[in-house]
Each structure stands twice: as C-alpha cells, then as structure tokens.
Chains A and B, each alone.
Chain A
Amino acid sequence: DAGVIQSPRHEVTEMGQEVTLRCKPISGHDYLFWYRQTMMRGLELLIYFNNNVPIDDSGMPEDRFSAKMPNASFSTLKIQPSEPRDSAVYFCASSFHGGESYEQYFGPGTRLTVT
C-alpha cells in the first residue's frame, strides 16, 4: 500500500491568498483526520470524517478554514484567506474501524508558509 498521500509537500503563499491542501487516505480506511502541528501549540486535531461525513470540526480555528471529503479516496483542507499565523505543518491521517485499536496512519505532511 502507498500509505497516506498528501500534496503539495511544501506550499509558500502570500497573505490573503487561498490555499488548498490535498489528501488521499489508505484504501479501505473509513476515517480521515486533519491535524496541524506548530512548535507553539504542538499537534492539534482540526476535523475528522467518517465515511466521508464530517463528524467533529470543533478544532477548526475559524471560518477561514474549511474541509471536504467528496469521496472515500480524497479530501481537501482549504484556507481562505490565508494569514501568516496559519504557517504550520498540516497532516492528514486515516484509520480503519475494526479490530481492537484504532491506530492512525499519517501522511508526510504539507509544510505551509504564509508570508
């Protein structure tokens, strides 16, 4: 299996621009998570989906952030307009509802820099 795939790996944009991050989960996994990692705040859960339906978006920082999952193999996280404080590494992770535990499998992350 190719694992969780994220694109782009690096994104540099100017303040005010729209940014779209992409994620392809592991085939057969029915949960998808978006996280943000910064030095100051550590690893934060932004939103997660089950069978393409958003379950909990309480971690989304504000209305500038939105996430979609149009099908089982694709999800996007959009920031519009972007601000310098959005600079972080964004991770996508997926998991399968089965077995004893629900370990998550992480993608390599997208490093976002907003200038």
Chain B
Amino acid sequence: GDSVTQMEGPVTLSEEAFLTINCTYTATGYPSLFWYVQYPGEGLQLLLKATKADDKGSNKGFEATYRKETTSFHLEKGSVQVSDSAVYFCALSARGYQKVTFGTGTKLQVIP
C-alpha cells in the first residue's frame, strides 16, 4: 500500500539556519504530494503541494520538489524563523483517490 516516510524529529535549529526535512514515499502511479504544517493547538494546514514529477511547490519561503526518480519530496527553507516552530507532515494522495496518507510528522523547534 501507499506509505510516507519522513525523518524523525525533533529538529532544533537556530534562527536563520537552513532547513531540510526529508520525505520519501511509496505509491503506485503518480500521486499528488503535500506538506502540511501543524502549529501548537491547531489543526493541520496545507503548506504546499505538487501534482506531477519535477513540479516545485512553494509557500511562505518553503519549497519542495517532486522527484519521481528518487520518490522524494524534501521540504526546504533557506532561513527559518522562530515562528516556523511547528510539526510538519509529508503526505500523498493517489491519483483518483480522496484518501491522504500522512507521514508521522517532524517537529521543528527554532531557537532565537
């Protein structure tokens, strides 16, 4: 079945550091890929998405590129802020299916 594997957390970075959170997936066909973010005490929010190979999703300074050859969708940001502290979930949905498969989440803590 479909699955998403993302790096274990927590990840602790200093403000303005470069961020990478790794995500790889297993799925048949060409799924859509997502990154969701969950701030403390809130629900998950869609951060960015990509629907086909080599697409780059971007939002709020975050980027992720759909790499079919490596089945990866790594999240990056050039300079993190304290306000980026949250849990980040990588996810996929198979083409034509409404169910979304989520990774286990990676907690990011940014310290001043």
Contact = CB atoms under 8 A, between A and B. Distances in A.
A42 B104 contact: yes
Contacts of B32: 100-103
Given A42-B105, A50-B98, A103 B43 contact: no
Interface stretch (A12-20, A69-77, A106-114): A106-114
A104 B98 CA distance: 9
A100 B100 CA distance: 14
A105 B46 contact: yes
Interface of A: 4, 31, 42-43, 45, 48, 50, 56, 91, 93, 95, 97, 100-109
Nearest to B34: A103
Contacts of B44: 43, 91, 93, 104, 106
Given A48-B99, A104-B100, A43 B89 contact: yes
B43 A91 contact: yes
Contacts of A48: 98-99
Interface size class of B (residues with CB under 8 A): 20 to 34
Interface of B: 32, 34, 36, 42-46, 49, 51-52, 89, 93, 97-100, 102, 104-105
B27 to A, nearest CB: 13
Contacts of A107: 43
A3 to B, nearest CB: 9
A108 B43 contact: yes
A102 B98 contact: yes
Contacts of B100: 102-104
9 contacts: A42-B105, A43-B44, A43-B89, A45-B99, A95-B98, A101-B51, A102-B100, A106-B36, A106-B44
